[in-house]
Amino acid sequence: MNFTPDTKSGTDTNTHVASSARRNGRFANNGQAGTCARGVNLNTERKMKMTLREKVAEVEPGKINHRAAGGVRGCPSYYDYLNAVDHPYCYFCSDTTCKECWNQEYKPEPEITYLDAYQMEAMRTCSFHYDEQDKMMRHAVFGLCSESGEVAGILQKVFQGHDFDKEHFKKELGDCLWMIAEACASVGATLSEIASMNIQKLRERYPDGFDPEKSKNRKEGDI
- Residue 7 in 3-state DSSP? coil
d(CA 106, CA 34): 10
Q: Which of 4-13, 77-86, 167-176 has the lowest mean pLDDT?
A: 4-13
Q: What is the dihedral of CA 144, 147, 149, 153, to 10 degrees?
A: -160
Q: At what angle do helices 166-186 and 114-122 cross, to 10 degrees?
A: 90
Nearest of 82, 85, 64, 86 to residue 73 by alpha carbon: 64
For residues 84 and 1, is the Cβ–Cβ distance under 8 A?
Answer: no
Average pLDDT over residues 122-142: 89
Residue by residue, DSSP assigns 157-194 as HHTTTPPP-HHHHHHHHHHHHHHHHHHHHHTT--HHHH
Distances (CA, A) of 170 to 9, 156, 215: 35, 15, 29
Q: Residue 190: pLDDT band by 50, 70, 90 thresholds?
A: confident
Say yes or no to pLDDT of 12 above 80: no
pTM across the whole model: 0.55
Say yes or no to pLDDT of 110 above 60: no
The per-residue pLDDT for 111 is 54
Q: Residue 33: pLDDT band by 50, 70, 90 thresholds?
A: very low
The per-residue pLDDT for 77 is 75
The per-residue pLDDT for 88 is 60
- Residue 151 in 3-state DSSP? helix
Identify how many contiguous H helices and E strands the chain contains and give both numbers: 9, 0
d(CA 56, CA 37): 17
Distances (CA, A) of 130 to 90, 94, 144, 185: 9, 10, 19, 8
The per-residue pLDDT for 213 is 92
Say yes or no to pLDDT of 136 above 70: yes
d(CA 36, CA 189): 9
Average per-residue pLDDT for the chain: 76
